[in-house]
Structure 1
Amino acid sequence: MAFCVQAHAQPSLAPAVANDQRTLLVMGDSLSAGYNMSASQGWVGLLGQRLAREKPGWRVVNASISGETTAGGSARIVGEVLRHQPDVVVIALGANDGLRGLPLSEARRNLARMIGASQHVGAKVLLVGMRMPPNLGADYTAGFERNYRDLSQLFDTALLPFLLEPIAMDREAFMDDNLHPTVAAQQKLLDHVWPALRPLLD
């Protein structure tokens, strides 16, 4: 969730797509980009390793960027889905919008555009939500969480309500900034995402 935006997204975690290979595209922020760790250590990198073992016909493209907002994802989504022609898209954005107190209506519109573009190329979508601390106000916090639930229902996507749920209350699972999960916590994040993602891979 760092605010400094990297110049480029993470590279693909697999070689160029083969004719019979299927593609999973991840659009996220630093929580999915593997902040302050190698790409292979983050939960998306671990996902690529799990797919290589359990679903060898799949590759993972991690297009996550540290500091990314839903506006940034919305601006990039058409290019990414046309370039990679994904079968599944994981959209895990919104944390930086919330930390900056950006309007909920804008985040909703941006996420809707990302879902729509993904579904337009025939991809299944897993929408991964976040939650905000109460200091932003009860209305904002509730509305932020509701955005994901409402969009998932509107577009009939899979939904994981809160990416950080298994570690949210464990201070030791976060780096010194208290925002980014440690390397040791990445497997827990993958294990949390997997049950929601697994049905989309069949």
Structure 2
Amino acid sequence: MSLRVAYGARRLFVYLVALVTFGAASPALAKEFHVLAFGDSLTAGYGLPRGQGFAPQLEDALRRNGVRAHVTDAGVSGNTVGQGRARLKWTLDGLKKKPDLAIVALGGNDMLRGLPPAQTRADMDAILAEFKRREIPVLVAGMLAPPNLGPRFGAEFNSIFPDVARKYGAALYPFFLANVAGVRALNLPDGVHPNFQGIKRMVSGILPSVTQALNAVEA
């Protein structure tokens, strides 16, 4: 065998190995996930310019980390869990593509309005039941009540999110506003809604949980 033929055979062998190795992985790499951000003003980007809210920032963060994903913003400012429950079915029916993962981020307005935790629990239960019925995996972005609402309310409210997530086998991110709530520099002048940097911190906090949930979907 001449050196030229031997070299050509070697190149062919390397090409075939690469084709088998990377070709086998290409379906997973080519998949683009659809993530639904179902929430209130915290996902709707209240008070922020277009493109600076939770959904676009999460989509950018996922793509920077090698996860091809489209994040649909289904946040409605002011929504309680009950109002989210009321619009859930037609929201899902109106999507062009079934989500691979839903992030349920509701409860802040129930807490701010002092609504009975029992009602919030029933509404959250119904929301997760509907996602379960449609076989859509869920990541619950929980909420925590501030101490000034009292220990009884706090205990009843704070237990809703881990309890309901556990019941339906959903993933849980315990506090959606972790390291943002109460930090003046990360919130708009109203002291309630995160600014661009606040949303950025929220995204960096929840990103590992979102990635882990999508990996579970992929598996």
Cα deviation per residue 1:2-41 (whole Å; 9 max; x = unaligned)?
A: xxxxxxxxxxxxxxxxxx6532111111111111112411
Asked if residue 109 in structure 1 is aligned to residue 122 in structure 2, the reply is yes
**Which position in structure 1 is the counterpart of 2:67?**
55
24, 27, 39: which one pairs with 2:38? Answer: 27
Gaps in structure 2 of 5+ consecutive residues: 1-30
CA pair 201-63 structure 1, distance change in 2 beyond 3 A: same
Question: Are the equivalent residues in 1 in contact too, given 2:181–2:192 (CA < 8 A)?
Answer: no
79, 82, 89: which one pairs with 1:68? Answer: 79
Give me the whole-angstrom Cα distance separating, in 2, the residues matched to 1:70 and 1:96. 8
The one-letter amino acid paired with 1:25 is: L
Question: Are the equivalent residues in 2 in contact too, given 1:81–1:118 (CA < 8 A)?
Answer: no
User: SS at 2:34's partner residue?
Assistant: strand
Identity of aligned residues (%): 32
The one-letter amino acid paired with 1:69 is: T
173, 181, 198: which one pairs with 2:211? Answer: 198
Question: After TM superposition, which residue ranges in structure 1, 4 or more long, deviate above 4 angstroms?
Answer: none
Asked if residue 170 in structure 1 is aligned to residue 147 in structure 2, the reply is no
Aligned residues: 182
- How much does 1:135 deviate? 2.2
Give me the whole-angstrom Cα distance separating, in 2, the residues matched to 1:37 and 1:191. 18
- How much does 1:82 deviate? 2.7
Asked if residue 36 in structure 1 is aligned to residue 47 in structure 2, the reply is yes
The one-letter amino acid paired with 1:35 is: Y
TM-score of the superposition, structure 1-length normalised? Answer: 0.84
Is the helix fraction higher in 1 or 2?
A: 2
Superposed counterparts of 1:86-105, under 5 Å: 86-105=99-118
**Which position in structure 2 is the counterpart of 1:139?**
152
Cα deviation per residue 1:53-76 (whole Å; 9 max; x = unaligned)?
A: 4222x2111110110110111011
RMSD: 1.5
Give me the whole-angstrom Cα distance separating, in 2, the residues matched to 1:33 and 1:121. 24
Cα deviation per residue 1:77-108 (whole Å; 9 max; x = unaligned)?
A: 11222332211110000000111111111111
User: SS at 2:172's partner residue?
Assistant: strand
- How much does 1:51 deviate? 3.3
User: SS at 1:41's partner residue?
Assistant: coil
Give me the whole-angstrom Cα distance separating, in 2, the residues matched to 1:118 and 1:43. 21
Which has the larger displacement, 114-123 or 188-197?
A: 114-123
Asked if residue 182 in structure 1 is aligned to residue 216 in structure 2, the reply is no
**Which position in structure 1 is the counterpart of 2:25?**
none
Give me the whole-angstrom Cα distance separating, in 2, the residues matched to 1:129 and 1:123. 18
- How much does 1:52 deviate? 3.8
CA pair 82-182 structure 1, distance change in 2 beyond 3 A: same
